[in-house]
Structure 1
Amino acid sequence: MSATTLLLTLGFAALVCFGVPFAVAIGAVVMLVLVVADIEPAFLAQQLIAGSQSFSLLAIPLFMLAGELMTAGGLSQRLVNVASVLVRHRTGGLAMVTVVAALIFAAISGSAPATTAAIGAILIPAMAKQGYDKAFAASIAVSAGVLGPLIPPSIAFVIWGTIAEQSIGKLFLSGIMPGLAIALGLLVVCYVHAKRHRVPKQPKATWQERREAFASGKWALLSPFIVIGGIYGGIFTPTEAAGISCAYALLIGMFVERRIKLPDIPAITLRAVRTSAIVTAIIAVSAGFGVLIAQEQLATNFASWLASQISEKWMALAALNIAFFLLAAVMDEIAIMVILGPMLMAIATKFGVDPIHFGAMIVTNVAIGMAAPPIGYCLFVGMAISGLSLARIARAIWPQILVMLFVLFLTTYVPQFSLLLVSR
């Protein structure tokens, strides 16, 4: 094993274990390899620029900003009100409101942490007040956030589509069925929890309340139709859709809801920039990392080794899922996609897996990782909102994780489950 290979694998793993941020760890390893291999240091600068200049990646900060504008403009509260009049009277109704509201908000933000933050901030306190265990309330908001990467438009699919050079529009469609299946499973969890703990039901909404909720929420409900309809109607690309989503959220927040004032815009933008900067930094430095991995033929060699050790396609997919789930529990999900992307695609090609189906499998895994202990992003959002420890939320979230793993099983071994809506 060469010095370059050791640095790229063991060196990176050591830095991560010592708590070095992923972007810094990747950049440091690349610099060390350049020094050891006597490669021109300008290589890193070139790859930083190349790795962050894809037009598709522009959708990430724009969707982040759209989510922040929706929340600040009061549209997330409108979505909660609409979901409430539909399902609040059911057993587990308020928890179901969280899932339904997140399902709609996911079609606006494309982000799991943004979905958990927008919906959880409203409904975690409301559920605790109504009699739900607070840890369960936080866990269901965290789990519902997982819908963000699956329901289009999705930041995770934008990243994977860029890495794998696949149609982002088709990848968006491949996430719908897994997303809806997870939402349905979470609704069942809500019902079982409320039944077991005898959580009191809320009164059924009157037709007048429903009319008022839909009337006041019409602008929030219109946003997903504009964004998704525009993409699949061929009117604009996913990146352009992200820009339109921002403009729409800003106009509604300023001139219809009138909750956003001009002095508020810098603070809202800064919140989106902070989150986007983390994602973009990882993607930018990972470009150089990926080139070095390709030069060392690590992806090709690993794919060949796996094919020689495992002859059955279903076993290879199971091994990938297990490895991905374990990695996602301790490592940033975006970093996994970017760093291991070439290797994963080599394995998929080796076993003849449809690239769109494979993308759905990978992003479903990524979505689960957002809620999986110990470092899922959404867990930390739930902790911040609820004030609970990671251990308490982690103990409450395992029924939801099992639901997600079942959907991952369907996505992996029943290709038409995710490809049902994908037109060839």
Structure 2
Amino acid sequence: MLMLLIFVALLAMMCINVPIAVALAMAGVLGLVLTEGMSSLVTIALDMYNGATKFSLIAIPMFVLAGAIMNAGGITDRLINFVSALIGFVRGGLAMINIGVSLFFAEISGSAVADVAAMGSILIPQMKKRGYSAPFAAAVTSSSASLAIIIPPSIPMILYAASANTSVEQLFVAGIVPGLIGAAGLMAVAYGFAVRYDLPTEEAFNIPRLKETFVEALPAFALPVIILGGIFGGFVTATEAAGLAVVAALAVSAWYRNLDLRHLRTAMLDGGIQTAVVMLLVAASVLMGGFLTRAQIPQQIAEGILSITSEQWLILLILNVFFLVIGFFLHSAAAIILVVPIVIPLINAAGIDPVHFGLVVTLNLAIGQQTPPVASVLITSCAVARANIWEVSKVNVWFVAVLLAVLMLCTYVPSVPLFLVEYFYR
């Protein structure tokens, strides 16, 4: 009964547009007061501060900053030129370039919204000039941007690791193969559209041009080597790799002598706001987590579901549906912070690998970024393309189907995401 009251209070505040972080904190305070009295409020400020200053969370603003530097320092332009020379000869080549560059940018920023803002502002206008429809350009940009939270580094993975007390490095490794499979699937769908609507190629395959653009982009290729090589080699933690990414992005931008300080300032301010929102959510979640832990709500939910079934495949199916629905209405950070602490006892009791489940959660939330009404990434892409969200969604449904297929593959064939984890860590 108490949990129902807290849930109704939280839902009511969200319905009247109270910010999710504020609503979450107020609901948590209400729960603590009702269960333990006013004395439980003495350490609230300290608990929130400690919750938002975990070492692993420092990686979030660092990766956001690295992405901003990369975009403002001319690195993105070199990548686009190289990918264009590599696959621009394919029909619908500009759509392929969009997906290919997103695949690389995902390895730096860890944020799908940052990917759309960076790539979309450059590639969507070019796609429209070349005869691509605005809905198709927006759909390709939006769906490929979701690779940013599947391929390491990933901000939602960092949040999940902090919430579930598991290894962020292992989560990063688990995301590599699903991310590559997803990129290949998106390219296949884009090629199907290109053939159907006779979309243009960009340029003939030219080896001298490919070599030229490769040499120009070579310093940029050092960024993922530093980040992923350092993590997988065991030389640095994910947080330390984020700091290295910032330093490396600055060094590469200085090499290109093309750092746009005004653009960088704007991107840093936007990234700071985005980080502040996430950190406020994390801090607020400590209060709700304290209430849930003391009331043993997660354990009760685990016992309730396990009393119905102990089959892992069915539990995963239930949780997949639950997270898909949650993704319709909550941003990925809010969904992780709200829900993961509740379901982790169930995952542990059912014997499901928390790293495997972390990837399942991430894929669900990647799909949630593409599905209205919230659809933060889709909305950003539509704004850049100046396209109607429902027209874009009609095209985007084919790309979302690819992400759903990857989700099902990773859910029920765990060796797909976990074989690299087994190789490196177990």
Aligned 8 A contact 2:175 2:359 in 1 = yes
Structure 2 residue 418 is matched with structure 1 residue 419: yes
TM superposition shift of 1:222: 1.4
Quick one: percent identity of the two aligned structures? 36
Which region of structure 1 is more displaced relative to structure 2, 276-285 or 391-400? 391-400
- Could you say which residue in structure 1 is the equivalent of 2:302? 303
Q: Structure 1: where are the runs of 5+ without partners?
A: none
Change (3 A) 1:371 1:263: closer
TM superposition shift of 1:373: 2.1
- Could you say which residue in structure 1 is the equivalent of 2:113? 113
- Could you say which residue in structure 2 is the equivalent of 1:319? 318
Q: Deviation string for 1:104-131 (max 9, x for gaps)? A: 1111111111122222221111111111
Q: Partner letter of residue 33 of structure 1?
A: G
- Could you say which residue in structure 2 is the equivalent of 1:247? 247
- Could you say which residue in structure 1 is the equivalent of 2:84? 84
Structure 2 residue 356 is matched with structure 1 residue 357: yes
* Match among 5, 8, 18 for residue 6 of structure 2: 8
Structure 2 residue 62 is matched with structure 1 residue 62: yes
- Could you say which residue in structure 2 is the equivalent of 1:294? 293
SS at 1:148 equivalent = helix
SS at 1:89 equivalent = coil
SS at 2:239 equivalent = helix
CA distance in 1, matches of 2:218, 2:342: 45
1:199-210, aligned counterparts within 5 Å? 199-210=199-210
Please report the TM-score for the alignment, with normalisation by the length of structure 2: 0.95
SS at 2:352 equivalent = coil
Report the number of matched residues: 421
SS at 1:201 equivalent = coil
CA distance in 2, matches of 1:265, 1:318: 43
Q: Partner letter of residue 22 of structure 1?
A: I
- Could you say which residue in structure 2 is the equivalent of 1:191? 191
* Match among 10, 17, 20 for residue 19 of structure 1: 17
CA distance in 2, matches of 1:199, 1:386: 18
Q: Deviation string for 1:88-143 (max 9, x for gaps)? A: 11122110111111111111111111122222221111111111111011111000
CA distance in 1, matches of 2:66, 2:370: 22
Aligned 8 A contact 2:72 2:261 in 1 = no
Q: Deviation string for 1:327-375 (max 9, x for gaps)? A: 1011122111112112221121122111211111111112222222221
Aligned 8 A contact 2:84 2:202 in 1 = no
Which region of structure 1 is more displaced relative to structure 2, 158-167 or 62-71? 158-167
Please report the TM-score for the alignment, with normalisation by the length of structure 1: 0.95
* Match among 16, 30, 33 for residue 32 of structure 1: 30
Q: Deviation string for 1:208-258 (max 9, x for gaps)? A: 2111211111121111011111112222111111111111112322x2222
- Could you say which residue in structure 2 is the equivalent of 1:122? 122
CA distance in 1, matches of 2:140, 2:18: 30
CA distance in 2, matches of 1:106, 1:16: 31
Q: Partner letter of residue 289 of structure 1?
A: M
TM superposition shift of 1:296: 1.5
